[in-house]
Structure 1
């Protein structure tokens, strides 16, 4: 397997990044084809316009992506002043088990340190247990006071890593 690198997404990749993100969520059964969230996941160009869109790549192409968000901006959900937030972390189903999610998360942490952020926060569905193990291993802790319910019965659990 070739080495994974993380970099900003390029405009010519936006369609593929959107498709990869949606396919990852669909493959895990986290959403269905008719879910409104599919449109948001596939619109990588809009995310890149309002946040930083990073991709994990190797010599074979796109492996995953993540959206990096500053507090108070359009895509921010739970971040507060001085915190960086990430959303929509996705690994292509064929690239699972290669460390793509970890590479993307570490890139977010690097961005946060470079920006002088005090912490990184994110929200995750209960079903994302593999991701929760990664976040815990990297030093994230649960922050239940920021758990929230975007739709009735759909709870997102909040995590934070403080620097």
Structure 2
């Protein structure tokens, strides 16, 4: 592995925010493109880092090549996790770094954090139906679909959910 997974640093907030926003835009994940309200949320790494844990994949040549937000159930950044669960969100990998195991390494870091918490029984996530390569990572790592938890953050935009039991 030619990159490191670690906590985001304040001087990297803007870089990760830009990467996160651009990834969602370029991958067609924002229904309203540049005008989507969620774009500002994605770019606000400073807020996420204050209210949850934000991890990055960094290498010496390219800087930040990926990121993810890790949250405990019942906290601000948990969309579907309830107390006793953890959740990860906003998983992104720079296009040039795809295929290097960055996404899987970020997911594994979240799983390891959740497993280390005695009160945590599982880790959960929501994902867009378009994110087929991410679904393959989750399934390879043992996550299972939880269709009973699927939800719509906005009308007509259904997100799929997965969980990994410990």
Partner of 2:23: 24
Aligned counterpart for 1:144 among listed residues 142, 147, 153: 147
Establish whether residue 120 from structure 1 lines up as the match of residue 123 from structure 2: yes
Does the 8 Å CA contact 1:120/1:162 hold for their aligned counterparts?
yes
Deviations 1:89-108 (A, max 9, x none): 00111211111100100000
TM-score (norm 1): 0.96
* Contact 1:23–1:92 (CA under 8 A) maintained in structure 2: no
Q: Find the counterpart in structure 2 of residue 9 from structure 1.
A: 8
Unaligned runs of 5+ in 2: none
C-alpha separation between the residues in 2 aligned to 1:27 and 1:114? 35
* Inter-partner Cα distance in structure 1 for 2:148 and 2:57: 31
Count of aligned pairs: 162
Superposed displacement of residue 77, structure 1? 0.8
Aligned to 2:135: 132
Number of the residue aligned with 1:154: 157
Please report the RMSD computed on the Cα atoms of aligned residues, expressed in angstroms: 0.9
> C-alpha displacement at 1:46, in angstroms?
0.4
